[in-house]
Amino acid sequence: MTTAHIYTLSRLVHAGPRSWEQLLASIEEGKSYAFSYYLPMREAVAHFCASRGQRRDQIVREMIARARASGGIRRANRTKDNLDAFETFEEVFFPEIDRFRKNFLHEKQPGCEFEGLTLQGAPHFEVVDSDGRKRHVFLHAAKNWSREDLLAYLELLGIVIEKNYGGDSRSLWVMDLKAGEEIRWRSSARVRKNCRAAARLYGRLISTTI
């Protein structure tokens, strides 16, 4: 069965098939960079929650060191962006978390079947919020996602949560670390229909090139 990461598939949902070849090439080229850019922040947030807010200064120092070690011409920007996102989480969202449950950042993902594809992807971690609800957290910090691409990504992530993480899509907690507010999201029949169509077309496209 063909495997597709939810990030890749979400970028294709609202793109015309004629642009797929060029888009696929650019996605694959930039996917590792996009994943790694905010990885220091995501890891720091997970460790901060797991420690119940203890060791804050040490966790931040380690995050900054990892961001700086990544190198590249945008090293200073990456360090500042990771720190800004962490501080937004600490101020806005951390007080709403009652208990940390599990970190999924480095967990081997089983994948789940969706329209002939094996979807790869996961929430960042799982917590219990201040109302006692189990929540699957997605830390959204990227600047350059369109609204349509983000909604497609969240729809696919909701599917993964339903099938692999013992919840339903309503447990998804989307933390916008740029705006400093929760993205109030819910599953959309229209977006899911578009995701299904894109998944089927992606599977046919990949099968013809192997």
Res 143: pLDDT:
82
How do residues 28-74 score in pLDDT, each as one tens digit? 655 555 678 899 999 999 999 999 999 999 999 999 999 988 765 56
Predicted confidence at residue 209, as pLDDT, reads: 56
Q: Can you tell me the distance from the alpha carbon of 134 to that of 182, in angstroms, rounded to the nearest whole number?
A: 16
Cβ atoms of 172 and 158 closer than 8 Å? yes
Nearest to 14 by CA among 198, 173, 175: 198
Side chain identity at residue 34, one-letter code = A
Top-confidence residue, 203 or 112: 112
CA dist list (Å): 64 to 1, 38, 75, 184? 40, 11, 10, 30
| Pick from 37-41, 116-120, 147-151, 205-209: least confident | 205-209
Which pLDDT score is estimated for 6? 87
| Residue 3: predicted pLDDT | 83
The model carries a pTM of 0.88
Mean predicted confidence (pLDDT) in 87-111: 93
Q: Is 118 left (phi over 0), alpha (psi -120 to 50) or beta?
A: beta
pLDDT tens digits, one per residue of 164-208? 987 788 999 999 999 999 999 999 999 999 999 989 888 877 766
Of 158 and 107, more confident: 158
* pLDDT for the residue numbered 34: 63
133 pLDDT tier (thresholds 50, 70, 90): very high
24 pLDDT more than 80: no
**Where along the chain do its domains lie?**
2-209
Instruction: Find the range with the poorest average confidence among 108-117, 123-132, 183-192, 198-207.
Output: 198-207
